[in-house]
Amino acid sequence: MTIERREKRQGAALVAPALLWTLVFFAVPFAGMAIMSLAHLEGREIVQGFDLGNYLRIFTDPSFRRGIFVSLEITLTVTVISVLLAWPLAWIIATRVPERWRRMALLIAVLPFWTSYVVRSYSWALVLGEKGVVNNALIGLGLLSEPIQIMATRAATVTGFVHFFVMLLTLTIYSNLIQLSPNYARAAMDLGASRWQVIRLVILPLTLPGVMTGAFLTFVLCIGDYITPQILGGNNELSLPQLIMMQLGRRGDYPMASALSVVLMAIVTLAYAASARWLKMERL
């Protein structure tokens, strides 16, 4: 046996456990789910078949179709708002905050990461509720006479999401910004660009890969999340993950839950394909 072949055999042996784990506990269940999505429910019995009935229902039944649109709308809104809020924050921390406070500022900007995800959504319920801090403050200031309904609306879901993703995006954009050499800005200034032009024409395009990577991450995490819409959005309009959980709970309709999951997965794959040329996943 040549050395090279021995090397290859040993290398393969090292990769094997992880590969096996991923195949057994990820690829196989996923394939099982894809097969399950072609089955249907008769009474409480799952009848395995090979029909596309579930998918047909998803795209014709208004409540399912609505779910897809709700999820897409919320996710796109959240992604856009989060990027718009996070970019200036990251830029200010990277360029305006004095260097010895920079680490501190970044730490504060992501501080709420360290409480649990479920609790973070819950604390927005405290802030946005009928008797919550926001309503209290607005009434106290005389801007409102009656509390307004924020909880259990899309606004609450979006707020909860934006809160989380602003932190995430600030991190990714910040790490992008501090890797840029200050010479780019200096050169542009020397050539007569105004400060605003430097940001718009030089810095912004240079951070585009980081922004796109963060935005893609936001999209994926946001569209698949069950917790935030469930706690803050209530049951007035259901997102895709809420619909999936509902299939499991009410009737044990695993075939439908599986079909919806496959659709969710397809949406993420499409989003990836659409943004792939800007993504640099290895830079995360």
Partner 1 sequence: MRILSWAYLIALFTFILLPVGVLVVFSFQDGRLPVPPFKGATLEWYASVLADRALMEALLNSMIVALISAAVSLTLGFLAASGLARVVLPGSVLMRGVLIAPMTVSYLIVALGLLQMFGKIGVRPSLLATGIGHVVINLPLCFAIIYASIGEHQKNALKAARDLGAREWQVLWLVAAPMLLPSLAAAYFLAFTFSWDEFIIAFLLTRFDVTLPVEIWSMLRSGLSPETNAVGSLVFLVSIVIVVALELLLFRKGAK
Among 185, 188, 211, 244, binds partner 1 (CB under 8 A): 244
Q: Which is nearer to partner 1, 30 or 278 (by Cβ)?
A: 30
Residues of this chain, 175-234, that bind partner 1 according to CB under 8 A: 195, 220, 223-227, 231
Report, in Å, the least distance between residue 104 CB and partner 1.
11
Rg value, the chain, Cα = 24
Tally of CB atoms within 10 A around 125: 16
| Separation in Å, CA 129 to CA 142, 160, 212, 225, 230 | 18, 13, 34, 21, 15
Residues of this chain, 151-170, that bind partner 1 according to CB under 8 A: 163, 166-167
CB 90 within 8 A of CB 175: no
- Which span (19-27, 52-60, 172-180, 185-193) binds partner 1, by CB under 8 A? 19-27
Q: Which is nearer to partner 1, 186 or 283 (by Cβ)?
A: 283
For residues 124, 127, 131, 134, the Cα torsion angle rounded to the nearest 10 degrees is -140
Among 56, 80, 104, 111, binds partner 1 (CB under 8 A): 111
- Which span (50-58, 62-70, 119-127, 182-190) binds partner 1, by CB under 8 A? 119-127
Residues of this chain, 263-282, that bind partner 1 according to CB under 8 A: 264-265, 268, 272, 282
φ, ψ dihedrals at 210, nearest 5°: -65, -45
Report, in Å, the least distance between residue 282 CB and partner 1.
7
User: How many helices (DSSP H) and strands (DSSP E) are in the chain?
Assistant: 15, 2
Residues of this chain, 27-46, that bind partner 1 according to CB under 8 A: 27-30, 32-33, 36
Residue that is written with structure tokens 């698949």 in the block: 224
Looking at residue 213, the DSSP 8-state letter turns out to be H
Q: Which is nearer to partner 1, 25 or 59 (by Cβ)?
A: 25
Q: How far is CA 46 from the centre of its chain?
A: 33
Residues of this chain, 77-96, that bind partner 1 according to CB under 8 A: 85, 88-89, 92-93, 96
- Which span (65-73, 172-180, 202-210, 243-251) binds partner 1, by CB under 8 A? 243-251
Angle between helix 62-95 and 254-275 (nearest 10): 40
Among 117, 197, 274, 280, binds partner 1 (CB under 8 A): 117
